[in-house]
Amino acid sequence: MGRHVKSSREVLAWIAAQRRATSISSVIIALLLMLLIGILLYLINLTIDRKDIPRQVTYIAPPSEEIDNDASQQKAQVQVARRPTPPGGGAPSKIISAVTASPVAAPTMVEPALDQTFGIDEGFGSASDQGFGGGDFGTVPGGAGKRCNADDRLARLASTGGSPECETAVINALRYLTKKQHQEGYWGEEHRCGITGLALLAYLGHCETPVSEEFGEAVFNATVYLIDRAMKNKGRIFDDEGGPWCYEHAIATYALCESYLFSRSFGYHIPNLEKVVQGAVQWIIDSQNSVGSWGYRYGGGGRYDTSITAWHLQALKAAKSTGLKFPKLQDSVNRGLKSLINTQLPSGGFGYDLNRKDEGNLPLTGAGVLCLQQHNGRRDFDARQGIAHIARNSRFDFKKNANLYEHYYVSQAAMNEGGAFWKSYNKMFRDQLVTNQSQDGSWPNPPGNKHSAGEIYNTALATLMLEVYYRYLPGTGK
């Protein structure tokens, strides 16, 4: 019996020793596995370029899609998200995402025809088209690098007749606008959506987006403000329905279409932007009046209004560039262009309506020409007749007579026309506009500026004029 007890104790001791050895082996194996995993993670981490980590901008969307609260109640937060560069290289994806589930929330430039033989002195219609037209065009990154990269932008500026002082003036203007922006995202005390749309276009014209380092917050807040107005008003973008809100809706829609194209092309996302663009553009199409024009009150009637119609046609060209589908868009464009041509006079100028006693209103002539260039191409016959009228009559003297509303249009139409006309016009307006900028970056109201709505308005238009050297206009050509 003693031998049995002794044998059992020895067996138990041996079993205990085996268990200890097994436990120690397990611990060692686990440590080795952890070390191996750590080495693998370290090697993977080395392959990620930390410089390409983008910012993630988060928009705190309202609890429901129908926004009924004032935009001032909405808040934006900026967060950093570590995301690797996408396959195929290129810029990393930039995300503007919603905290709550929400639908997804932009312009091309015609190369100036500086080498063409037509112009003020040589007459019109003698040069070949060389591919300019109002057709489709590629996404922004295919050419926007020319203005999104500072060096390339300066090179394009020089090649198209600009100067380094033009770029300095644009930067100072954008900084002025940033300082004047209300916390809720808008500019101005009256016509807020229209003025905000113009200011937003000025930022986009310099390739500033919600993820831009200096101006990103201003762009983001302006975009959200316009989206909120549209959501509150069921697709219509205005603050005061009793005012001239048709102007405001068209300008704001134009700006949001450009914003959408930028978001799609550069890979960031703004909640509700796509939904608002769809609704706002469709409202324009469905609210055209019986003669193909748009007026101070949408729909019905047979009133011509070249000024309001021009803003709507610009918005529709920007809408084309988004790649979204809008029922009857081209039919609406065709009717709108026909209504403009009906107001053109034998002189080549465009009138406000069908008043044939008008010898041609220069601001409206610029508006008519630009719209025809955008949709039909710069070789359009009626556009060329309008250019001839502008060449004979348009003047720019900031101290004596300079209507910025007129030259917002004419500067774009002249760039599209190119040749001797552009060179002559550029020489007339460029340095005068730059040297008359105020020290704070704004522009005062010059004599003859009949349509001024204040310094914010003046500054937005002047900035867009100085961006014409590299700005990607909605669909003026390839």
Taking alpha carbons only, the member of 185, 272, 178, 289 closest to residue 231 is 272
Say which residue, 175 or 128, is predicted with more confidence.
175
Give the confidence band of 147 by pLDDT, cuts at 50, 70, 90: low
Separation of alpha carbons 213 and 343, rounded Å: 45
Phi, psi of 459 (to 5 degrees): -65, -40
Q: Output the pLDDT for position 450.
A: 75
Q: What is the pTM of this model?
A: 0.73
pLDDT in tens, 226-265: 999 999 998 999 987 777 789 999 999 999 999 999 998 8
Phi, psi of 367 (to 5 degrees): -65, -45
Q: Alpha helices, DSSP H only, in 267-403? A: 273-286, 306-321, 329-342, 362-376, 381-393
Separation of alpha carbons 165 and 187, rounded Å: 26
pLDDT mean over 348-362? 78
Fold (CATH) for 100-466: Glycosyltransferase (1.50.10)
Amino acid found at 207: C
pLDDT in tens, 44-95: 665 544 444 344 444 444 433 343 333 333 333 333 332 322 222 233 334 3
| C-alpha distance from residue 421 to each of 114, 424, 457 (Å) | 9, 5, 27
pLDDT in tens, 164-210: 999 999 999 999 999 999 999 999 888 999 999 999 999 999 999 99
pLDDT of 143 strictly over 60: no
Taking alpha carbons only, the member of 115, 141, 142, 119 closest to residue 130 is 115
* Residue whose entry in the numeric block shows the structure tokens 């310094």: 455
pLDDT mean over 114-140? 31
pLDDT in tens, 154-166: 888 888 999 999 9
Q: How much is the mean pLDDT over the chain?
A: 77
Separation of alpha carbons 278 and 280, rounded Å: 6
Rounded to 5°, angle at Cα 250 from 105 and 132 = 90
Separation of alpha carbons 174 and 441, rounded Å: 8
- Give the percent of the chain with pLDDT over 90: 53
pLDDT in tens, 416-461: 999 999 999 999 999 999 999 999 999 999 987 777 678 999 999 9
Structure tokens at 262: 């930028």
Separation of alpha carbons 298 and 246, rounded Å: 7
